[in-house]
Amino acid sequence: MISQTPSREPRTIVVIGNGMVGHRFCERLVECDVEDQYRIVTFCEESRPAYDRVGLSKYFTHRDAGQLMLADPAWYAEHDIELHVGDKAVSINRFDRVVESQQGRRIGYDILVLATGSSPFVPPTPGVDLPGVFVYRTIDDLDQMLAWGESAKRAAVIGGGLLGLEAAKAVLDMGLEAHVVEFAPRLMPRQLDERGSQILVSQIESLGAKVHLNRQTRQILGEHRVTGMAFADETSLDVDMVVVSAGIRPRDELAKACGLDLGPRGGVIVNDALLTSDPHIYAIGEVALHRGMIYGLVAPGYDMAETLAKNLTGDSGEFRGADLSTKLKLMGVDVASFGQYEADADVAKCVSFEDPIAGIYKKLLVTSDGRHLLGGMLVGDASDFTRLLSLCKSGKPLPGSASDLLGMGGAATAGAADLDDDCQICSCNNVTKGTVCAAIRGGVTAVGELKKCTKAGTGCGGCIPLVTDILNAELKLSGQKVDLSLCEHFAYTRQELFQIVKVKGCRTFDALLASHGAGHGCEICKPAVASILASLWNDPILKREHATLQDTNDRFLANIQRGGLYSVVPRVAGGEVTPDKLIALGTVAKKFGLYTKITGGQRVDLFGARVQDLPDIWADLVEAGFESGHAYGKSLRTVKSCVGSTWCRYGVGDSVGFAIRIENRYKGLRSPHKLKGGVSGCVRECAEAQGKDFGLIATEQGYNLYVCGNGGAKPRHADLLAADLDEETCIRYLDRFLMYYVTTADRLTRTSVWLDKLEGGIEHLRAVVIDDKLGLCADLEAMMQRVVDTYRCEWKDVVDDPELQQRFRQFVNTDESEPDIEFVSERGQSRPADWPDEAELAQLQLPNGKAYIPAIDGRTWVRVGNVKDFPQDGGGTIRYGYAQIAVFQFASRGEWYATSNMCPHKREFVLSRGILGDVQGEPKVACPLHKKTFSLKTGQCLTGEEYVIDTYPVKIDGDDVLLYLPPPGRLAEAPAVEQRRCGTGCHSCSGSPVAIGQSV
């Protein structure tokens, strides 16, 4: 570490390279408040500042580099960092300590940091220089690929590692036929074994790509452009585009030219302080060779950046290597590996779990005595990665058997208290349990506060349940009362609210809020209460008093997908379907251009439906004899069956007939989480009944009833509740079991987790359901019978009601519809710089008492609809030129708001479908995709991120709704991007955007 001798003049740190690692180093210096200590200069070779290379494939979805930017030039200026964009450092004079750039700049340095990263390795294959061959590394590379892709149809990606699979995803998103060519006998050979690779291959090929293993490219074919590839095994592949992603090489040419020590295969040699052979030069990231290792992952680079920043700001630290454990989502498939995943049989034993239907493979290596976890891999489901990685790194004995860790033993899984402080809780933002605990011990008492101060849970949101468990465990440990309130609006648990609604007879959310709540509700309590009301009273969920309580899936009776489109899943009870109905499904799919897929629950899913087409789709399906499959709700999804005694030579029970009966009985039940069932006709278990929330297996004496299994995120073997039952007894026990779960489970809790946390476990459940220990069985049966007797098909309700159909219009102010169009506002927000502040607005009153806003920048009041066009306590979308604007009638507050309809997180046009609420009095809307919330007043993101949405003034004139808007063209200064689909329903382009005028 360089001595920190006080100096009057700030010392100069020059950072060569402004990639992810170079930017992270600058960030950490800024956080250490070094303005008086250091002058920071950074050279950026590309035409734009640092951006997220890991998320490059997102660029193919929206073609907006801004989404990937880690910081804009204003951030560097704000923190006095001299950023030289588009200016490559070309030489280092170590004697004079000067860096010279391509544009002639000469910057002297006291400390030089090399963060030059790496460049793609391009194999010396004949034809690699042909037009149509690209590398996958920068946004400029992607722009070239996009331009070439307009005239291409088939593309091959050379390389089946992490970057290669990301490139293959990009090729699919371009709408091209995709091929992955890998020299090794398996994909991701550094992370997966043979079986893990096979599962990953099957998952990737199910998405539309083709994988070629054991293929060495001998030549890229073509004269004036790529026409194909020839392989060493004498086979060939016709393609008109090739993307090379076969590895990386450290960009050490500057270091080599100035005489720094390099490794025999490249890379700048550094010690544990990241110091090179020159006492004034450091190296971090993919250019650094540390203990013989060059890390090709961003996380080790970030660790290097943080270590060096500490050393240069008076702290001390050493980089002793990095954990190569990874958790990624490749082409939509979860893949993770940690520790050792291969070892000799005399050193370790292997425990594995495989579900080829769901595309899940899990493998753990434990010591030969079975007491310690050495490592493992997860494909298709990486939800246990954090817990397993922590256990592996800690060296602690296993809390149970190795099979329990994979959920195969039915035992409760380890909780938050079992995790070490250095366990990574949030992989998106690299937040450890220790960081979360420190915040809690510092006075944080709510999950929302934790998200803001630690950033945990502000990425994908998948760690929120674990963050909540840690919070509750820490508060309990410190002797504080754990607040189990549903949210700030109800000081009760979901279970307590269920009993209140039942006993008090509350029939609406507003009635419950008035008697037992506060404020105006939110995206947590509204759906939870809506579910309770449906479970007890079973009113149609689209009644006006219930409609805007629902998440978007329930509100529009379909599952929201990418691009704000929906998927439609008709019910196919027990998996039995007639030929005429199959033909009807195909006819509907062709008529509306929908992508079709067979689900794991023996149904057909129709993807890509526009919200305005949903009523017409349902009309055709209802006419063909279908009804809602409730795939959108926290309710019964399917009851899977084998063919049973009807066809199977081994069958001893009519599994199909019984599955249909059960599914039709419980199809209207709303529950804390989704429910799945199964009925197998014999012990061969072809319907996988023991991996369901409830399952029945036929025996010679009747049926064995299993409950609380889960084949999803955390596989759990179901427990036997009772054996050798007749059908009527099965139904009676199921009525009791399901209603007891609905009555007592917490929100969004699967039956498997519920049972694991239920005091007394399966024995208690058996006593309640079979022995009537609590004297509730008659009540539970009566509650279920009410649900059965009041069932109505929600799709048919819409088909039969023109007023309900109006809620599915794309735009409130026009019956026309169009593909979604992105727009960029002129200044990033709609209010111009000279907009009156709140005090000035208060003075601008018309004689009738209505606020007057002067015509600024050509803006005027524009009528966008009638009051009755917008749902109470909900939103609707209006079309304005090429823009979409969400207008919200927050009736319970007596207020109106308008914002851009596009959520800046995933840039989807969905905000009008979000749930309204408030937080500490601030009105907000929750994006229906990922529940990020935005202030309706300021547009600021309220969940800790730096996103912002545009807001617009609204006023009501009689029954008219008016917005204060600029001329339509001013909302589309930047070239618009139009989302279009080819209409064939194929996977590769469904929902993918292309530029206006581009061929599809």
Q: Which residues of the chain are modeled with pLDDT < 50?
A: 1-7, 409-414, 821-836, 838-854, 972-1000
Q: Which residues contact 285 (CB under 8 A, 6 or more apart)?
A: 17, 19, 21, 22, 115, 116, 117, 301, 304, 305
pLDDT at residue 778, rounded to an integer: 95
Distance CA 45, CA 42 (A): 10
Distance CA 484, CA 490 (A): 10
pLDDT at residue 25, rounded to an integer: 94
Q: DSSP secondary structure string, 781-833?
A: HHHHHHHHHT---HHHHHHT-HHHHGGG-S-SS-S-----EE---SSSSSS-T
Distance CA 915, CA 920 (A): 16
**At 330, which amino acid appears?**
L
For the beta carbon of residue 401, count every other beta carbon within 10 angstroms.
14
**At 898, which amino acid appears?**
A
Give the tens place of pLDDT for each residue, 697-722: 999 899 999 999 987 656 788 899 99
Alpha-carbon distance values, 904 to 170, 553, 561, 907 (Å): 21, 20, 16, 5
Give the residue ranges of DSSP H helices in 596-652.
Answer: 614-623, 644-647
Q: Left (φ > 0), alpha (ψ -120 to 50) or beta: where does 625 sit?
A: left
pLDDT at residue 368, rounded to an integer: 84
pLDDT at residue 132, rounded to an integer: 95
pLDDT at residue 784, rounded to an integer: 96
Q: Work out the angle at residue 977's Cα, subtended by the Cα atoms of residues 975 and 981, and round it to the nearest 5 degrees.
A: 155
Alpha-carbon distance values, 588 to 234, 568, 617, 621 (Å): 44, 11, 7, 8
Distance CA 329, CA 95 (A): 47
Beta-sheet pairing, 154-158 with 177-181 = parallel
At 627, is the secondary structure helix, strand, or coil? coil
pLDDT at residue 3, rounded to an integer: 42
Q: Work out the angle at residue 690's Cα, subtended by the Cα atoms of residues 687 and 692, and round it to the nearest 5 degrees.
A: 80
Distance CA 565, CA 54 (A): 26
pLDDT at residue 456, rounded to an integer: 78
Distance CA 92, CA 254 (A): 7
Structure tokens at 486: 């549903």
pLDDT at residue 872, rounded to an integer: 94
Pair 303, 295: CB distance under 8 Å: no
Q: Which residues contact 950 (CB under 8 A, 6 or more apart)?
A: 825, 829, 830, 899, 900, 939
The model scores a pTM over 0.85: no
Give the tens place of pLDDT for each residue, 273-318: 999 999 999 999 999 999 999 988 888 898 899 899 988 988 878 8
At 855, is the secondary structure helix, strand, or coil? coil
DSSP structure class, residue 475: H
